[in-house]
Amino acid sequence: MTVQKRTIGAFDVHPVGLGCMSLSHAYGPAQDHADAVAFLRRAVDIGYDFLDTATIYGMGNNEKLIGEALNGRRHEFVLASKCVLDFKDGKRRIDGHPDAIRDACEASLKRLQTDVIDLYYMHMPDPNVPLEDSIGALADLVRQGKIRMIGLSEMSADMLRRAHAVHPIAAMQSEYSLMTRNPEIAVIETCRELGVTFVPFSPVGRGYLADKPLDPNGYHKGDLRRSFPRFTDPHFSANLPLLDKVRRHAKHLSCTVAQLALAWTLAQDKNAVPIPGTTNSQHLEDNFNAAAVDIPADMLVQLNTEFAADAVSGARYSAAAQATVTTERFAFED
């Protein structure tokens, strides 16, 4: 399969990257260590060349996993990690102070077994630290050669502009899928204007946009979706007709629902690099091959109409989680 690569800063990558979070936590227990190591090696063998992790994933264990699994293959992929959402004494914390960012980077470099992180994101804003101070610390890390590019995650278009004025921002990561259209309010257009690559996370709707239906009564006790309104009733049931629609479109194209969802993100923004996560080897291959799925123009129009932002029942985050980010919201969400 030959597909045109997409650009993140100075790097050209396959249009579909790999989010590594679910190997360590979020939607269920951590994968067996040996299985996770084999999974990551298989991903790079397939051709994945953009891997995304973060300090907080598995309290550092996700970075350790990548460092161990891909030691000696660092030149084969672009590596992204994140700081600010950190941990201390086994507890999560948000700390965007320059000293904390520097310390977090040193710890990540050690866990990842590398001398440089290609793309280092602020995982979320720290309301107690001026954004410009945090970006200044990241700019220092670029000058020191410890990171190559700076990224932002879950921030508004205004914060992207402010950060970009301090130091060029290479990528903006935010949730974007048929189920979550918020980046269309301002972030995607601002990325285009500034030459920033948009990186959609959860592009298959946190597993909702898949051939196998989720069971809202069967989530693992540690599953994040237990706290997200649209993944619990009454909203989950209210959204089932949308799933029926996307399945019909996928059947028409002879692809999986997840492949259709990924192809949609790729078509919405010709520069975007979505990073679906999975622990399933078949899904790993399917997601990679979604870059070759071509959605006809009339189907794109249908999908955009059927999955209009106000057609989805339930908020994407709980009120507490929403308060930690600055992403734009539609008027009807207030």
The residues carrying an active-site annotation are 57
Q: How far is Cα 11 from Cα 27, in angstroms, rounded to an integer?
A: 30
Q: How far is Cα 110 from Cα 144, in angstroms, rounded to an integer?
A: 16
262: left (phi over 0), alpha (psi -120 to 50) or beta: alpha
Q: How far is Cα 103 from Cα 53, in angstroms, rounded to an integer?
A: 17
Q: How far is Cα 207 from Cα 221, in angstroms, rounded to an integer?
A: 16
Contact 175, 19 (CB under 8 A): no
Q: How far is Cα 69 from Cα 150, in angstroms, rounded to an integer?
A: 25
Contact 65, 51 (CB under 8 A): no
Q: How far is Cα 104 from Cα 97, in angstroms, rounded to an integer?
A: 11
Contact 204, 276 (CB under 8 A): yes
Q: How far is Cα 62 from Cα 21, in angstroms, rounded to an integer?
A: 7
Secondary structure (DSSP) of 190-246: HHHHHTPEEEEESTTGGGTSSSSPP-TTS--TT-GGGGSGGGSTTHHHHTHHHHHHH
| DSSP conformational letter for 32 | P
> For residue 212, what are its two tokens?
């196998």
Residue 76's nearest CA partner among 54, 51, 52, 107 is 51
